[in-house]
Amino acid sequence: MEIVQVNPFIRYARTHEAYYPKKENSVCYDCRLFYIVQGDGLFFANGQSFSFSKGALLFLPPKTHYHFRFSDEKAVKIHVLNFDLTDEFHKQSHSLGTATESTFKKEIFPNYPLPQEFSQILIEKNGIHCQGYVSTCIQLFLHKVSYYKHSASAYLKLALLELLREYPSEKPDYKLIQSVQEFIRNNYQNAELDNSTIAEQFNYHSYHLNRLMKIHTKQTLHEYLTQYRLHMAKNYLTTTMLNVTAIAEKTGFSSYTYFIKVFRERTGLSPLQYRKTHKNFGF
C-alpha cells in the first residue's frame, strides 16, 4: 500500500479522562492514534520507551504491545482513535477492542499491507498542529452528523500526513538521543549512573548532551533517568511482593530514604500506599 491509497476507516473515537494501567501490556488489533490533551509520563511500546507530555501525538501500527505510565493517572485527558488505514474491512464496523498479551486473538486482526511510513511507531512530542483534526474526528463521532464517518476519515488522513511531515526522525541528533534513552533503560539499575557517566559513554560533554536531551524530549538527562527508575519501581510494586528496600536497590536509587523521598514527591504517595491503591484497568 502507498500513501496515496490511505483511506482511514475509523471504528472508535473517544476522549478518555482517566487511565489505570493493566498488569499486562495492551495489544492493538488495528491502528491507534493518541493525542495527549492533559498529562505526562512515559510510554512503553515493543521494548522501547518514550517520554511524553501535553500535546504529544502517538501513532501505533497493529499488533503493537504497549502501556502508558502517567505521572498522575487521575489527571489525564487523551483523545483515542482506533482505525484501519484502508476501508477494506468496513464490514467490521464495531470497535475491535484492545487485547492483552495473553488474550490477543489472531483471527480478529485485519491483515493488509501497511505503507512503509506507517509500519512503525511514530511519536511527535509537539503534535499540537494536529489537535484540531483529531478533535474534529472525536466531535463527528460524538454527534453523528450526515456523512460523519467519511468526514472523520478525511480529517484523520490530514492528521496522519501532518504527523509524517513533522516526524522528528530526520532531525539532527534524534538517533543519538534514542541511543541515550536505550542506554539509560539498560543501565538504570546502576546507582552510580549520572549525567557524567552517560555523556562519557557517548563521548560528549555532559552539558552538551543534556542540552540535546532537553531539546528532543523536554526532559534533562537526570529527569529522564529518575522518571524511568520510578516507572520500574512502580512496576515492581504492582507485579511483585519485593519489599521497598529491595525495590530501591533494583531501580538504582542511592538509598532507601532517597527513594521514599523522590517517590512521594512525584506521586503524592508512599511506595506502600501506591501498591495498595493501584488498580489494573486500561484502554
Domain boundaries, the chain: 3-169, 174-277
At 171, the pLDDT band (50, 70, 90 cuts) reads: low
Residues 114-136: tens digit of each pLDDT: 988 888 888 888 888 899 999 99
| Helix residue ranges per DSSP H, the chain | 131-143, 148-166, 174-187, 195-201, 206-217, 221-239, 244-250, 256-267, 271-277
**Mean pLDDT score of the chain:** 88
Other C-beta atoms closer than 10 Å to the C-beta of 211 total 15
Mean pLDDT of 180-195: 91
Closest CA to 171 of 116, 216, 120, 117: 216
Please state which CATH number belongs to domain 3-169.
2.60.120.810
Average pLDDT over residues 45-54: 84
Question: Looking at per-residue confidence, does 210 or 170 come out higher?
Answer: 210
φ, ψ of residue 46 to 5 degrees: the values are: 50, 45
Whether 3-169 and 174-277 share one fold: the answer is no
CATH level 3 topology of 174-277? Arc Repressor Mutant, subunit A (1.10.10)
Per-residue pLDDT tens over the stretch 211-259: 888 877 778 999 999 988 998 898 888 888 899 999 999 999 988 999 9
- Report how far residue 178's alpha carbon sits from residue 207's, in angstroms, rounded to the nearest whole number: 17
